Every structure is written in C-alpha cells, then in structure tokens.
Structure 1
Amino acid sequence: MKKEYFFEMGFRGLTLIFWPIIIYKWIFIPNIYMERNSFLIFSILAIIYIINIGISQAKYKFLDNIVIYYRISTLISFILTLASFLLYPTNITLMWLKVLFIFIYFYISFKNVYTYKIEECVVGMISAVLLLVISICY
C-alpha cells in the first residue's frame, strides 16, 4: 500500500509539473535557458520515476501491468512533447515520434477506461487529445 501511494503521488506530481511548463511557453516571453532547464528537470525526474517503477514492479508486482503501461506512456508522451515544443520545434522526426506516442497514450487510456473500468484514465484520453491539438496547432 505504501509503495503504491508513493508511486501514485509521484505520478501526479510529474503530471502537475508538466502543464505549467507548457503554459509558461505560451504566456511568458520565451527564454531558451528556462526552457532547457525545465525540460531537463522534468525529463530527469520522469526517467528516475520510470526506472523506479520498473524495478519495483519487477521485484514486487504491486500494480497491474496496464497501470504501468499507462504511466510510462504518459511520461514518454510528456517528455517528447516538451522536447519538440521547447527545444526542437522544427524537427520532423521528433514530431512523428511524439504523435506516435500520443496515439499510444490515447489507446492505453481508452483501453483502461472501457476494458478495465479505470475512470482516472478519462483524464489521459482528454490529455492525449489536448497534446495532439497542441502538436498540430503550434
């Protein structure tokens, strides 16, 4: 129970860190140093989280695999979105990778909602659509 709570709060924290970085890019004057540092901090925290949840899942099997897939696809989509949005906005390969992982994120969220009845993944579906709109419109 304690491990599950720790990983749940870590995932929510990473999700809450992601959206202000996106909003910062739109509202404030762009600063390459702030954008690069924001990307690096978020990416390092997300990669540490992914490694920790992978190791803990391999040892203890405390979460369902679909929940692990959902969290990892979310964080990879967020990292690729930040990379293409903040650092490399003209990189076509990165854009295609980002769109691919956003569709994977949407599919896993959809599967969680309709097959496993995990209602929190409705937010994942909405988030994936929002990321896709940001990718297309920006």
Structure 2
Amino acid sequence: MGTSDDGRFTIAVVVRATRAIAHVTDGAADVAWLSGTAGGSALLLTGEDGEAVFHGTVEDGSLTGTASRRSRKAAFTLLVVEAPPVSTGRPARSGQERVTLGLIVRPDRSQTGIQWTDGTPRPAPGWDLDGSTVTFGGTELRVEAVAPDDV
C-alpha cells in the first residue's frame, strides 16, 4: 500500500493465491475497486465498469505500475505491508439512509477513505481501529477486512 507518485491517490492491494483486489481513492469523492489475477510477479486488475485498469509488477519487495480510469492515469510504487490494509463497511441502513464505507488503513494507523450516504460521497470519518464496528447516525455498522473474492 502507499500513494500514487503524484500524491493524489492512496492505493491498497490485497493478494491471495492467484486473485487480487485494489482500492484506489483520493479520500474525498473518487474511488475505484478493481479485481483480477495475480500471477508470477504481475497483477492485472479491472474495475466493474471496465473503465478502470491496474497494472503492476512485484520486484524487490515493492509493487510498481499504473492505475488508470477514463482519461486519468497515476503511476505508483507501493511497499509490502502487513495485511489487511483495506477495510470496508458493508452497505447498511441508518434510519432511511443507505451508507457504505471504504477505508484504507496505513501501517501508522492513519486512514483514508470515502463514506457514501445515499450515493453522495464525502471523506470517511475516523474509525476506532480497535473495534470491528463504526457508529453512524446511531446505527452500528460492521467493518471487515476485504478479500479478493469480495469485489
């Protein structure tokens, strides 16, 4: 996990056997979840909409490559960290609102993510990383680490 070379995006990747997922976010309103294959030293991931593509190569303990979506492209060099760097709050309802949370947790426990409330994005609130829930509007939401088959 780490940031894009230009500092605009935080990126986390989870690999299990031959499957991988990536979460790329600016922490405000732009996010992409990508999934695909990991083989040898290469990753090739795509987003659900087909507009996001992630290419990476593992070498000497780091993952280098590019993530692109529509006309935007960001290069990166990510370091290997202890899993799980990516967590998600499953879609839930808080009163009448539908809430989904996506969060990347860095090794220093700082966080970047987006909270979607009825389709409207905003930076995710800080989460208590010692628990497995976050409270939103009086409703407790479960927070779980994601795995490649989740996306």
TM-score bin (small chain) = under 0.3
User: If each structure's strand is expressed as a fraction of its own residues, which one has the higher value?
Assistant: 2
What TM-score does the superposition give when structure 1 sets the normalisation length? 0.25
User: If each structure's helix is expressed as a fraction of its own residues, which one has the higher value?
Assistant: 1
What TM-score does the superposition give when structure 2 sets the normalisation length? 0.23
